[in-house]
Amino acid sequence: MRDNKLFGFLSDELERQNNSIELIASENFASKEVRELCGSILTNKYAEGFPGKRYYGGCENIDNIESRAIELVTKLFDAKYACVQPHSGTQANMIAYYALLDTGDKILSLSLDEGGHLSHGSKVSFSSKYYNVEFYHLNDSGRIDYEGLKAKALEFKPKLILAGFSAYPFEIDYKKIKEIATLVGAYFMVDMAHIAGLVAAKELDNPLRYADIVTSTTHKTLRGPRGGIILTNNEEIIKKVNKACFPALQGGPLENIIGAKAECFFEALDPSFKEYIKHVKENTLTCANEFSKMCDINSGTENHLFLLNTKLSYGVTGKDAQELLEEIGITVNKNMLPHDSEKPSVTSGIRIGFAAITTRGAAKEDAIEIAHIIHDYLSKQIDKTIAISRVKNLIKKFKKIEEI
């Protein structure tokens, strides 16, 4: 017995994914093995607690799977300790705050409009309700103003300084931020949700060399299931983290997702993953550079994403650009730009990332063509019919989702 209407929607989504060019930087396509574990019988098992310390019987196999996930993720990121139970990146951040802070404690982070994340202190997030959050800023080149960060930290005296962002296209100087955190006696936390795959492939610096605690998602550049992780090299911190995770903030862990996390860590340890991430960076840089030749209103990039100011480049808001591109089969997300004059629901630009489409086999020449399709369509040099035709011709080169 099944709901045919529901499975019809599922079929529609498969068709959409196969017939569009996915450029949302926070999305990717998981392998068949990861998807198999997500939909496995592991979803049947309740397993409150942690390996060897459960509140339910029958957890021997579950313990083996969760322990395997911890073994693989600590190897992948050269960490001593890990919690693999957070249901999402925001949950991971909530758990980390709860473990290290008391209600009302001070957090210094980057604001949402300059590349931060909702859970880093946005006024619509729990993080601003339960903690006293202030922000450091970017300089005129769009990079972190480290001197300004230091001055703000000395003035504000935070208990935790947070780095790691959702729309920051450059490398982060973790050593410098750690020095500032040490100077003011603050914890140093990194949310590497977006760049975890690049860190795993050693294409970006590992924040665990400097941070007291690191959180991440597993579904972006890591190509795993939707979920979160927390890493640390401090034994006392992991004890606090596990208590914050359960029983404080979460109930039974999603063991089917934890199994899928373990598989994605296993896949990321394979040499082929390093090659994949190199291609992601190459494609992103190639596309950003191509836009620079045509409109010169993009952020540049040192990772897997960049920002495009559509308002200045093409006279359309990020929201309008997102909707226009979706009509021709290109999926992006509107995104606030530094000092954006538009509301978060509108924005002045879009965020473009190449993790997902590179999984489907995109190469540098495809990144160039994608830049030209977007530019030509948003600048009204081609009509909708021609744009759709060019997108369809490009998609023919890529793997089907069910083949990944």
CA atoms within 13 A on the CB side of 162: 33
Q: From CA 252, how far away is CA 156, in angstroms rounded?
A: 38
Q: From CA 194, how far away is CA 202, in angstroms rounded?
A: 14
E-assigned strand segments in 263-322: 305-308
Q: Which residues pair with 185 in a beta bridge?
A: none
- What H or E segment, with its residue span, contains residue 58? none
Strand order in the sheet with 333-335: 305-308, 349-353, 333-335
Q: From CA 71, how far away is CA 337, in angstroms rounded?
A: 39
Q: Are 263 and 34 in contact (CB under 8 A)?
A: yes
Q: From CA 135, how far away is CA 333, in angstroms rounded?
A: 24
Q: Which residues pair with 6 in a beta bridge?
A: none
396-399: long-range contacts, CB 8 A cutoff, minimum separation 24: 397/361, 397/362, 397/366, 398/357, 398/360, 398/361, 398/362, 399/359, 399/360, 399/361
Q: From CA 292, how far away is CA 201, in angstroms rounded?
A: 27
What residues act catalytically?
46, 48, 191, 217, 220, 226
Tokens 């903690």 belong to: 131
Q: From CA 273, how far away is CA 223, in angstroms rounded?
A: 10
Q: From CA 246, how far away is CA 115, in angstroms rounded?
A: 30
Residue type, 145: D
The percent helix, strand, coil of the chain (3-state, each to 5) is 50, 15, 35
Q: Are 310 and 321 in contact (CB under 8 A)?
A: yes
| Distance of alpha carbon 256 from the chain centroid | 21
